């Protein structure tokens, strides 16, 4: 799947999604301001940590979120049913990915380093519920996320208004 993220002024952006099946969608950027777009944060965290059933993995597999607008391409029969099924089956991994992305994004933007006890505690206690154990992330994985974030931030800051970057999922 290919993602084309275009930078607009005042922190706005949009993502064009071209799935491997040829179907394409537009995704308007979320309203809150971060150092990098929320969609890019999802991309780098999910890809780096191999969260294949997070937001982008679900989109690649055929899920369509309400925030996505159809652009073109032939949709398979029963595509809507497949999307609904994916979103239902992957509800927990989607929530987990959202929480992890938000934790990394907030923690990095607040200036906490990768060895920060704040980051460790946030990751440990995310969506805590009795009897539910979440995946733990190694020091190497956390370091990879921080490195990917720094790289993405540099690319985004260099991108002029009206410019686009292409990413492959």
- Over 80: is that where the pLDDT of 168 sits? yes
Residue 17 has pLDDT above 80, yes or no: yes
Query: In the predicted model, is pLDDT for residue 71 greater than 80?
Result: yes
Report the pLDDT averaged over residues 115-125: 91
Q: What is the pLDDT of residue 2?
A: 98
- Computed over every residue of the chain, the mean pLDDT equals 92
Alpha-helix residue ranges (DSSP H) falling in the chain: 38-48, 55-61, 79-89, 91-109, 117-125, 139-158
Torsion of CA 101, 105, 108, 112, to 10 degrees: -70
- Write the pLDDT tens digit of every residue in 30-68: 766 678 999 999 999 999 999 999 999 999 999 999 999
User: How many residues appear in the chain?
Assistant: 169
Beta bridge partner(s), residue 15: 5, 27
């Amino acid at each position: 799947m290919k993602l084309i993220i275009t930078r607009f002024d005042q922190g706005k952006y949009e993502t064009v999604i071209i799935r491997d099946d040829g179907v394409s969608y537009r995704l308007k950027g979320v309203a809150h301001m971060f150092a990098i777009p929320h969609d890019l944060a999802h991309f780098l965290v999910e890809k780096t940590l191999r969260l294949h059933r997070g937001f982008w993995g679900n989109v690649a597999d055929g899920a369509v979120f309400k925030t996505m607008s159809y652009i073109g391409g032939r949709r398979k029969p029963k595509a809507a049913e497949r999307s609904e099924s994916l979103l239902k089956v992957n509800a927990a991994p989607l929530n987990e990915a959202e929480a992890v992305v938000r934790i990394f994004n907030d923690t990095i933007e607040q200036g906490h380093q990768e060895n920060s006890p704040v980051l460790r505690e946030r990751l440990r206690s995310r969506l805590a519920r009795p009897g539910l154990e979440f995946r733990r992330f190694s020091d190497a994985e956390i370091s990879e996320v921080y490195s990917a974030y720094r790289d993405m931030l540099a690319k985004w800051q260099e991108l002029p208004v009206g410019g686009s970057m292409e990413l492959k999922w």
